[in-house]
Amino acid sequence: MPLTIFLITYFGIALGKVPGLVIDRVGIALLGAIAMVGFDVVSTQSAVQSIDLPTILLLYSLMIISAQLRLGGFYTWAASRIVTLLAKPKAFLLVLMTASAVMSALLANDIVCFAFTPVLTTALMRSGMNPLPFLLGLAVSSNIGSAATIIGNPQNMLIGQVGQLAFDRFIVWCAPPAIISLAGSYLILLRLYRGRMILGETCPTAGDPNAWPDFNPWQSTKGIAAAIGLVVLFFSPLPREVSAIAIAGILLCSRRMRTRDILGLVDWHLITLFCALFIVIHGITQAYDLNLVVNRLAGWGMNLGNLAILTTLTVVLSNIFSNVPAVMLMIPFMDPKAPQQWYTLALSSTFAGNLFVLGSIANLIVIEQASRLGVTISFREHARVGAPVTLMSLIVLVVWGMI
């Protein structure tokens, strides 16, 4: 029964839906967790204990900090400053991708894309620019930038917490390939859209600028100070989740920002997905000895100690199941004494998100937000950029791992 529940859950996550029902990946994962408890594979107490609370607290806290910055209008302000470079398309693309990558490394990349896309799309269309290279550059750079730190994306947070990886050592190992990949993706975009960055005619959009949060210097400064303070505390002996939840608690003590508004921007669906997958993975590991799987893979020549094999397997699983479920599936096979395996898992699962539209939530956010403003980014157009960017990034990762 545990194996059946596990396979049905992960097949449903890969499919993304259940025929005849309007249920998504989160609902499918939750049903899998319920089945693990309902069929007595794990007890209720064991299910609760299987949830890695430090990871959940860290994820939750960073969502609150991002919500503070979003409500304070910081993201909109940053995007509006960047668009002043529209007269120089190559410089504009470079600054856009750099800013997106840096902010995604320190905050949630999904929020960066959500806040930047409407402002950029409207400005690009009104100025007669081709929005495709810039919007795709935003998606690609947010994914790549988020790979550089433990707090850049949800799967990195999980890897950092479970692997007990040091914040500074993670950056030292992961930032260089991320930076090289960012530069390479910029050059790829310039090559693919050479001579096609300008449409030559302006086009009105359906967006309402009044719907974007107004810039509030004080509230934005509070959010920035919280983010900086959090990074500083991450270099201290204090547990990361304690530092994060303390900073988040301070932000909730506000005379202007209502708690309901801040918590309304927390991605409860993602948190539910994490909790459900923790229970599903716990159920399968309780029922079966996963070391047998590791030994069988090694017998087939798929030794996960080989970083090239680990990268390939992670990319395949990330594009079948999405990166968070794939990482949860891979974590039990990681060697606690081999930090390079954990770093490789973090980078490869994140870089894999650029390959296809469904590989990353950031991709979907950019495409959905742009479509509301009249800009269509097709699966083929995304893959045209995503495939070479992903291939280049993975080559950089494998070479870096061999150095």
Question: Please, which pLDDT band fits residue 304 given cuts at 50, 70 and 90?
Answer: confident
The three-class DSSP label of residue 129 is: strand
Percent of all residues in the chain with a pLDDT value above 90, rounded to a whole number: 48
The total number of structural domains that make up the chain: 1
3-class state of residue 235 by DSSP: coil
- How many angstroms separate the CA atoms of 52 and 61, rounded? 15
pLDDT at 171: 96
pLDDT recorded at residue 210: 47
The whole-model pTM stands at 0.84
The whole-angstrom separation of Cα 315 and Cα 13 is 16
The alpha carbon torsion through 275, 276, 282, 288 (nearest 10 deg) reads -160
Q: For 239-260, how does the pLDDT look when each residue is reduced to its tens digit (9 = 90+)?
A: 989 999 999 999 999 888 899 9
pLDDT of residue 200: 63
When pLDDT is cut at 50, 70 and 90, the band that residue 207 belongs to is: low
Range of the domain at 30: 2-402
Band (pLDDT 50/70/90 cuts) for residue 104 is: very high
Task: Tell me how far CA of residue 214 lies from CA of 104, 115, 138, 222, in angstroms.
Answer: 21, 12, 22, 15
Mean pLDDT of 23-36: 91
